[in-house]
Amino acid sequence: MAMQSQAKRELLALYEEPDQAADAVERLHSAGFDDNDIEILSSTPYPEGAFGEGHTKHRLFAFPFAGAACGMAVGIAWIVGAQVSLPIITGGKPIVAVPAIIQILYEGTLLGAVLFTVLGVLFESRLPDGVGLYDDRISEGYIGISVMARERRLPDAQIALEEASPIDLLSKEGSLMHAPGTT
């Protein structure tokens, strides 16, 4: 029982207008939830801070540099290895040709930078992601506010989300909002 109360559950509220979504985030902050508990889902990139969320910290800028270093090392190993393994002897010229090294080194460095950047995009975007709550209506322009809360804090989260007038409120089990005319 104690374990169950420690487990986090997710709620997802859908809002029609960005102002409503920003209002919901503000209410969640007031209720004691921080940015690590809240996720804002939209089909469009909104300017950072549009919903009152904090600055997104990431290390994507480090990935191309790491990739470039690896790519350069592989490029040099490949091209020098190929030349040393089968020496092509041409009068007075060194076995390991510098122009060839520069070419392959250049391409290897940039290819490594691109590959690592793409890996960095996946890592920093937390992809692949198959566990978070989602609703197709988000791609129609609705804004989703998702909250991860422990069982005992779930009612607080639900109240904060409902006060901002969502069109729907979802949990893993389905909609928590009653359709008009039902009890």
Partner 1 sequence: MQEPVVADTKTSNRELLDFVFAWPAWFFAVGGALNGLLVAAFVVVILMLMFGLQFLGYSHPVYWGFLIVNFVFWIGVSHAGIMVSAILRLTQAEWRRPVTRAAEVLTIFSLLTAVQFPLIHSGRPWRTMYWTFPYDWNRGAWPNPRSPLVWDPSAIFTYLTSTILFVYVALLPDLALARDRAPNPVSRAIYGVLAMGFRGTTRQWRIQTVAGLLLSAIILPIFVSVHSIVSWDFAVTSVPGWHNTIFAPYFVIGAVHSGVSAVVTVMIVMRYAFGLKRFITRDHIDSLARLLIVVATVWLFFFLLDFFFGLYGTEPAEVDTWQRRLVEPPWVVIAITFIICAYIIPVPMWMFRAIRRNFFWMFVTTILVNVGMWLERYMVVVPALERKSGLTFTYGDYAPSLSEFILVAASFALVILGFLTFSKLLPIMPAADIKEGQILADRIRVGRANVPAAMRE
Q: Which of residues 89-128 bind partner 1 (CB under 8 A)?
A: 97, 99-100, 103-104, 106-108, 110-111, 113-115, 117-118, 120-122, 124-128
* 79 near partner 1, judged by CB under 8 A: yes
Amino acid of residue 154: L
Nearer to partner 1, 27 or 67 (CB): 67
Is there a contact between 172 and 11 (Cβ–Cβ < 8 Å)?
A: no
Nearer to partner 1, 126 or 172 (CB): 126
Q: Which of residues 125-154 bind partner 1 (CB under 8 A)?
A: 125-132, 134, 136, 138-141, 144
User: Between 14 and 53, how does the x/- string for binding to partner 1 read (CB under 8 A)?
Assistant: -------------------------xxxxxxxxxx--x-x
* 56 near partner 1, judged by CB under 8 A: yes
Nearer to partner 1, 89 or 179 (CB): 89
Residue 56 gets which letter from DSSP?
P
Calpha distance 10→142 (Å, rounded):
18
Calpha distance 38→153 (Å, rounded):
13
Helix and strand totals (H; E) in the chain: 5, 5
Parallel, antiparallel, or unpaired for β 168-171 and 8-15?
antiparallel
Cis amide bond preceding 166, omega within 30: no
At 76, phi and psi to the nearest 5?
-65, -45
Nearer to partner 1, 8 or 126 (CB): 126
Amino acid of residue 98: V
Interface with partner 1 by CB under 8 A: which residues? 39-48, 51, 53, 56, 58, 60-61, 64, 78-79, 81-83, 85-86, 88, 97, 99-100, 103-104, 106-108, 110-111, 113-115, 117-118, 120-122, 124-132, 134, 136, 138-141, 144
